[in-house]
A = this chain, B = another copy of it.
Amino acid sequence: MKSHLLIVGSLAFDDLEMPFGTFENVVGGAATYSALAASLFTEVRVVGVVGADFPEDTLSKIAGRGVDTRGVERANGKTFRWRGRYSKDLSSRESLDTQLNVFADFRPKIIPEYRDSQYVLLGNIHPALQLEVLSQVTAPKLVAADTMNFWISGERKLLTDVLSKVSLLTINDEEARDLSGEHALPKAARAIRGMLAADSGPRTLIIKRGEHGALLFDEHGMFFVPAYPLEDVKDPTGAGDSFAGGLLGHLTRTGDVSARSLRAAMFYGSALGSFCVEDVGPARLFTLEKQDLSRRLDGFRKMVDSHGALDGA
C-alpha cells in the first residue's frame, strides 16, 4: 500500500521586511512550506484553514505540485497573517504583527480520505489541536511534531500528552532547553527522548539550528548534518518547515524509519531547507525539480566526505 504524509498546520500570508525590500502578501505558513517540500518525495495531504481572501489559484498551484489540498478548509474571514522584519545579515528576525484571523477558531478536521495516513506531521499548533488530529487518524506508522516556546511554557501538560504519542520531535536549541530544563544538548536530548512515545517508531529528537545545521538524537547516539552554505540567501522564512517536509517526505516515500533512513532524511531535510532560502517565500519550492535535489545531494556528499580520514584513525 502506498504511504501518504498528512501535514496539519498553518497556511498564511506573510509580510516580509527584508534588508533589500519589503514583500507583502507572500504565501506562507508552516503547512505550506512543509507540504511543498515533501511533495518532491511523496503524496502529501494537507489540513489547515484559509480565509476568503486566499486565492483559489494559489491552492491550485500547491495542488499542482502533487499536494492533496482537499483538507484545506475555507472559512469566512481573513487568512492568518504574519509580519516580520529581518536583520541585515538575515540571522535574526522580529515579529511585528500576528493576526490569527480564521486560524483563531481552527479545529482540524481530518476528512475520511485522509484517516489512513501512515505518516503524520503535526505542525506547530495548540497541543489540544495536535491531540484532536491524532484522535482522528487510524493507525499512523510514524507521528512527528513541531512545537514552540509558547506551548512549552503555557500548555506544558497538554504538550506532555502530545509528546507521549509522538516518536519524532523537531524543535530548536532554545526550545529543547526550555522543554528539558537542561542546557547541554546531550542532556536535554536524553530528557526529551524520555518523554516521547515508547511504542511507535524510534524515539527521535531533531534539533534544528538554522544556518548551523541540525542534530539528530536517537537510540544510536547523535548525528549531525550541516546546513548547505549558499552563495546567496534571500529569505530564511519557512526553512525549518521545509526541513521537516523534506525529512518526513523521505521517510514516507521509503516507508523506512531505520537509523540509516533517518540519517538520509536529515540530508534531505537540510537540502530542502537550503532550497527554501534561495528565494523570497516558497517561490523556489514551486520550481524545484528532482534533478536539483540530486545535484544538491552531491554537494552534501562532498561536504561530509572525509576521504576516509577517520578510517582506522
Chain A interface (Cβ < 8 Å from any Cβ of B): 89, 183-187, 209, 212-213, 215, 220-224, 226, 229-233, 258-261, 263-264, 266-267, 297, 299-310, 313
Contact = CB atoms under 8 A, between A and B. Distances in A.
Contacts of A300: 310
A165 to B, nearest CB: 27
A195 B184 CA distance: 39
Q: Rank and list the top 5 A-B pairs by shortest CB-CB distance, nearest first.
A: A264-B309, A260-B307, A212-B212, A263-B309, A224-B226
A229 B222 contact: yes
A309 B259 CA distance: 9
A27 B305 CA distance: 37
Given A297-B313, A307-B263, A310-B297, A230 B302 contact: no
B267 A313 contact: yes
Given A186-B230, A226-B226, A220 B302 contact: yes
A248 to B, nearest CB: 16
B306 A304 contact: yes
B232 A184 contact: yes
Nearest to A306: B263
A268 to B, nearest CB: 8
Contact of A183 (B89, B185, B266, B305): B89
A300 B308 CA distance: 13
A264 B313 CA distance: 8
Nearest to A301: B310
Contacts of A297: 310, 313
A303 to B, nearest CB: 5
Contacts of A261: 309
Contacts of A263: 305-307, 309
Contacts of A186: 229-231
A266 B307 CA distance: 12
B306 A264 contact: yes
Nearest to A224: B226
B184 A229 contact: yes
B259 A184 contact: no
A20 B278 CA distance: 42
Contacts of A299: 221
A268 B178 CA distance: 32
Nearest to A294: B313
B302 A221 contact: yes
Contacts of A306: 223, 260, 263-264, 267, 304
Contact of A305 (B223, B258, B307, B309): B223
A227 B301 CA distance: 19
Contact of A222 (B220, B260, B303): B303
